[in-house]
A and B are shown apart, each in its own frame.
Chain A
Amino acid sequence: MTAPGLPAGALPGFGPPGADGLPPLHVPLRFFLTAALSGVLLGGLWLLEGDAAFGSRWATSQLAATHLLTLGFFVMVMFGALFQVVPVLGGGAVPRAVLVGSIVHPCLGLGTGCLAWGLWNWSPGWMQLGGLLLALAFLVFVPAVGVCVLRARALALRPVRLAVGAFAVAVALGLFLAVGITFPELGITFRSWTNVHAAWGGLGFGLLLVVGVSHQVVPMFHVTPAYGPRTTRFVPPAIGAGLVLLLLPWPAPRVAGVGLAAAAGLWHVHATLRLLQRRRRRRLDPTVLGWQCGLFAVGAGLWLALVDAVAPEAVGWVAEAPAREVLVAALFGFAGLGTVVVGMLTKIVPFLAFLHLQRLAVARGDFAAMVGLPTMDRFVGRRAAFVAVGLHAAAAAVVVAAARWPEFGRVAGALAVMSFGWLGVVIAVAALRYGRAARSIVRAGA
């Protein structure tokens, strides 16, 4: 006997979306697992290339590594998470979530792989194939999620709406750069536009999404007071306005744009760290540690970008100008958003597993099962979560060092392989434990 609403023989929780709009658990989990695999490939690339990758941001291996991190890890995790976040924030169910996920996941994964391979070997054919697959993934995902976030009026969705819009601009800028590479006779100055593309992707999609999600999950999961109205109301549009200024092709508005977006980001970092200090349960928590380490690194990256834009001579002691750009990316991206995301995954994955088991017990009307569900740390243990955050923080420290001293590149790669490999094991084990618990609920009610 299967749960009501599930096809006969289907694994519980792997069926159609529930009335609450959450898609089946396999939809986000496959994105999270592939993100960890992309991270392992990224570490492997650094391990092979070492200082050659970290010597220049324009090294083909570093361009490939950057896209494995941004598209393969961050976008993969954030797309998977949006299937869950949008309904929770009041946007309703993503239409045809299983079908959308089944198209977007392989296209995003394979597209990233082809693009990274093409960039590493500077092969336009592979880059174009990767671009086509990625375009298909984005053309399916962005409208599906965009419809939900645009039609809903919930205030909580405003930063998510901005983030999805910023992602569309980042993709358009990426395509513009791809055209510049494919047709050099057009004379597109793709190096200067690369920073704008990176800012729309990193600050626009990455930071805005983290801002929007943190407004909800920090007070909820970590029992802190709510964010102040000035933070929730002004930070997201200030980041958006800064990014718009970056699109203008003159130096002064671009400096103002970096300043505005970085200042707004620093405001959010400060507000979140203050809230975490005021949490009611002061127990050491791996996700809180991820927030704290990650936000310090985000803050350091934003501060460096801000000073570099306004008074570059003041940060000349940090590193030479080209290495400073790599340092900003390493601090903001790998160390900052990366540690936040790894910490969040150690909380979100077991929470989703619990939520879906509860939904299964409810669907069967099994009160005893509802009360006796495994606790969250049965899916991801505290020690395993601390190891995940600790390994990523250690890898991040060496990646930041390698941005300044490229000879640390291979050590950074080895630690990145260990960090993302462990993250993948943690998620896979949680999925297996979920499956076992779901089958036992079904057997008990049969």
Chain B
Amino acid sequence: MSVVPRRLDVSRLEPPEPMVQALAALRELGADEYLVIAHRREPVPLYDLLPGLGFRHRVQQGAATAFEIVIWRQAGPEPEAGP
């Protein structure tokens, strides 16, 4: 099964909005989707939550923001590095 990205840009939001929106997006994430968050800093507190919620993540340099955090289901395949 191929997975498709759902993109979320939180780079202009004040805390705790990035965390709130990231959790809301994860809750709504479809079985065939993974989440790509554009952020100006690394959301370390979010990383701590992900394993307990059944997700894994990796960090890559963003196109327009300093960081892109790619999050996918533990049971699913890791998405390939995108543009």
Contacts and interface: CB of A to CB of B under 8 A. Distances in A.
Given A20-B48, A362-B49, A362-B52, A371 B14 contact: no
A115 B16 CA distance: 40
A376 B16 CA distance: 8
A373 interface: yes
B23 A365 contact: no
A20 B45 contact: yes
A368 B23 CA distance: 9
B14 to A, nearest CB: 6
B19 interface: yes
Given A20-B45, A220-B41, A365 B16 contact: no
Nearest to B66: A226
Contacts of B24: 371
A183 interface: no
B11 to A, nearest CB: 8
A429 B16 CA distance: 20
B20 interface: yes
Interface string B39-80: 011000100110011000000000000000000000000000
B43 to A, nearest CB: 11
A354 B16 contact: yes
B52 A365 contact: yes
Which DSSP category, helix, strand, loop or mixed, fits chain A's interface? Answer: helix
Contacts of B20: 371, 373, 375
Chain A: interface size category: 20 to 34
A220 B48 CA distance: 19
A26 B52 CA distance: 27
Interface in A356-405: 358, 362, 365, 367-368, 370-371, 373, 375-376
Interface size band for B: 10 to 19
A281 B19 contact: no
Contacts of B41: 220
A51 to B, nearest CB: 43
B16 A223 contact: no
B9 to A, nearest CB: 12
Interface string A225-248: 000000000000000000000000
B15 interface: yes
B16 A351 contact: yes
B12 A223 contact: yes
B48 A358 contact: no
A365 to B, nearest CB: 7
Given A281-B12, A351-B15, A358-B16, A371 B45 contact: no
B12 A220 contact: no
Interface in A3-22: 19-20
Given A20-B48, A362-B52, A365-B52, A371 B23 contact: yes
Contacts of A367: 23, 27, 53
Interface string B6-40: 00000011111001100110010000000000001
A274 interface: no
A322 B40 CA distance: 49
Contact of A355 (B16, B48, B49, B53): B16
A369 B69 CA distance: 23
A113 to B, nearest CB: 36
A280, A354, A371, A375 interface centre (most CB from chain B within 10 Å): A371
A4 to B, nearest CB: 12
A19 B52 CA distance: 14
Contact of B14 (A19, A221, A373): A221
Contacts of B15: 220-221, 351
A433 interface: no
B16 A280 contact: no
A439 interface: no
Interface string A190-226: 0000000000000000000000000000001111000
A135 to B, nearest CB: 37
Contacts of A371: 20, 23-24, 27
Contacts of A223: 12-14, 40
B47 to A, nearest CB: 12
Contacts of A373: 20
21 contacts: A19-B48, A20-B45, A220-B15, A220-B41, A221-B14, A221-B15, A281-B14, A354-B16, A355-B16, A358-B16, A358-B19, A362-B49, A362-B52, A367-B23, A367-B27, A368-B27, A370-B49, A371-B20, A371-B23, A375-B20, A376-B16
Given A223-B13, A351-B15, A373-B20, 4 more contacts: A223-B14, A367-B27, A371-B20, A371-B27
Interface of B: 12-16, 19-20, 23-24, 27, 40-41, 45, 48-49, 52-53
Interface of A: 19-20, 220-223, 280-281, 351, 354-355, 358, 362, 365, 367-368, 370-371, 373, 375-376
